[in-house]
Amino acid sequence: MNFIDGFVAAVPTENKEKYIAHAKDTALLFKAYGALSIVECWGEDVPDGEKTSFPMAVQCEENETVVFSWVTWPSKAVRDEGWEGMMQDERMKEFMMPFDGSRLIYGGFQTIVDE
């Protein structure tokens, strides 16, 4: 089964076009290092919670929008090699994140159901 890297971030709403450009550029890099697909989603119906929520998790401010994305890899081994290669790739140093990366939530997940 595939391996998924998942991400949640708070992006300044005014940076939506910059974020889209950034996402398209990084998608090319992910694919060059073995990713099968990259999905980026701009929040439209992301409610605040009382105890926890996407906005609370990334400390989303009033002028920001929650972004949810994932990268699909054929395996964890390919993902690990891919990330290692990307971190050494000079193009990664050129990418400026149009959001506060310190509030980015991410993790790797083994697919257990895919129907």
The model's pLDDT over 79-105, given as tens digits with 9 standing for 90+, comes to: 999 999 999 998 888 878 899 999 999
DSSP-assigned letters across all residues of 24-90: HHHHHHHHHTT-SEEEEEE-SS----SS--HHHHTT--TTEEEEEEEEEES-HHHHHHHHHHHHH-H
Give the per-residue pLDDT at 94: 80
41 DSSP β-pair partners: 68
Q: What percent of the chain has pLDDT over 70?
A: 100
- Give the integer Cα–Cα distance in Å for 20 and 9: 13
Rg, Å, the chain Cα set: 15
* Global pTM value: 0.93
Residue keyed to tokens 């980015």: 104
- Give the integer Cα–Cα distance in Å for 114 and 24: 25
Flag whether pLDDT at 61 surpasses 90. Answer: yes
